[in-house]
Amino acid sequence: MTNASQEVMQPAVQSVQSFDAWMAAVQATMEQALSSFLPDAAQAPQELHQAMRYAALDGGKRVRPLLAFAAGELFAAAPQQLQRAAAAVEMIHAYSLVHDDMPCMDDDALRRGKPTVHVKFGQASALLAGDALQAQAFLVLTDGAGDADCKLAMVRLLAQASGSLGMCGGQAIDLASVGLHLSRQQLEQMHRLKTGALLRAAVLLGALSGKLLTPTEEQALDRYAAGVGLAFQVVDDILDATADSATLGKTAGKDAADNKPTYVSILGLDASKALAEQLRQDAHAAILSFGDKAQRLRELADLIVQRKA
Ligand code: IPE
Ligand code: IPE
Ligand code: MG
Ligand code: MG
Ligand code: MG
């Protein structure tokens, strides 16, 4: 049996009541699930597997898995399938961070309060760890039980969100924009791709772990994800300019130092904060029709906009 096909037995996190307790339960479940879905560190090639585990485990807010779980709970998704969907999107995210930090991109030495993967393991291992995390994400998604049509939809969704019309495309625009003044529309497009696309995938993958969506359900979740997806990167830009490295676990002030166009550099701090708040409200409005069942999604929109790290 491969690591990717092992299932993690966990109590149903849905039964936990407070948001903080629910969040802690999902984060703990995901730590264990990710660990079981990654090759063992002792398995050859050890350094590659160690670098993959270093990148994906023991750190991060796990916002994408939280979104997947919250959306999955709307449709009573089975926990085992949710764990796979959430782990897949988190592996893509972890890979994107490993590559984002490399000298050819943002050249960062600190991530999640630890030395970045290329600092710890060298550039070649970091490159390969990112590549292998991406492949592992799709393996995890396709393994395990579940409806084949749902799985196909999920694979396509995650591939689109990760590729040249999703996260990679956004990263390409980001790198090509250093030192340029982008219009507000160009900036929004860059942020929607580099960050919004994976957050949208997290929401829809979680929902698809429950069932194939009706067009109305998909539209509502899409509108919600558009709000939180853009808000997430607007807040990331705000925190880069206002928080310190110890709080963030990554180098603060890096965007201005690197001459990157951000919401803060283009709109200013106050207008960026107002926009994030507006997007939070848009996200809430989008899921009104789901009623009480969407409480976790509402709480996550609040967290994404009000977070301090
Ligand atoms: C950082 O993402 C990179 C962006 C897309 C802005 P997160 O802020 O979710 O990073 P972790 O996973 O919590 O470390
Ligand atoms: C990165 O955006 C988005 C990714 C796809 C990884 P940033 O470059 O702003 O992320 P941080 O600030 O380094 O986490
Ligand atoms: Mg970057
Ligand atoms: Mg960066
Ligand atoms: Mg940033």
Give the ligand 1 atom nearest the CA of 61: 13
Phi, psi for 8 (deg, rounded to 5): -105, 125
Hey, what are 198's tokens?
A: 């994976």
Model-level pTM?
Answer: 0.95
Atom of ligand 2 nearest to the CA of 254: 12
Residue 11 is predicted with a pLDDT of 47
Q: In a 10 Å sphere around its CB, with 0-12 CB exposed, 13-18 middle and 19+ buried, how is residue 291 labelled?
A: exposed
* DSSP state string for 204-273: HHHHHTT-PPPHHHHHHHHHHHHHHHHHHHHHHHHHHHHS-HHHHTS-TTHHHHTT---HHHHH-HHHHH
Compute, in angstroms, the gap from residue 24 CA to the centroid of ligand 3.
Answer: 28
Q: φ and ψ at 111, to 5 degrees? A: -150, 130
**Residues near ligand 1 with C-beta < 6 Å?**
60-61, 63, 112, 195, 233, 236
- The pick from 233, 236, 262 for probing ligand 2's pocket by mutation, whose C-beta has the most ligand atoms within 8 angstroms, reads 236
pLDDT at 241: 98
CA quadruple 306, 88, 121, 260: dihedral sign: negative
pLDDT of residue 15: 52
Domains and CATH numbers, the chain: 19-306 (1.10.600.10)
Q: What share of the chain is helix, strand, coil (3-state, %, to 5)?
A: 70, 0, 25
- Ligand showing the shortest atom-to-Cα distance for residue 99: 2
Query: What is the rounded distance in angstroms from the CA atom of residue 158 to the CA atom of residue 137?
Result: 9
Q: What's the pLDDT at 146?
A: 87
- Rounded CA-CA distance 171/98 in Å is 13
Q: What is the pLDDT of residue 154?
A: 96
Residues with C-beta atoms within 5 A of ion ligand 3: 100, 106
C-alpha distance from residue 199 to each of 132, 207, 257, 304, 305 (Å):
21, 13, 27, 11, 14
Return the residue whose CA atom lies nearest to atom 10 of ligand 1. 60
Nearest atom in ligand 2 to the alpha carbon of residue 105 is: 8
Contact 80, 145 (CB under 8 A): yes
What is the residue-level pLDDT of the chain in tens, covering all 309 positions?
344 444 554 544 545 479 999 999 999 999 999 999 999 999 999 999 999 999 999 999 999 999 999 999 999 999 999 999 999 999 999 999 999 999 999 999 999 999 999 999 999 999 999 999 999 999 999 999 988 999 999 999 999 999 999 999 999 999 999 999 999 999 999 999 999 999 999 999 999 999 999 999 999 999 999 999 999 999 999 999 999 999 999 999 999 999 999 999 999 999 999 999 999 999 999 999 999 999 999 999 999 999 999
Encoding tokens for residue 221?
């979740």
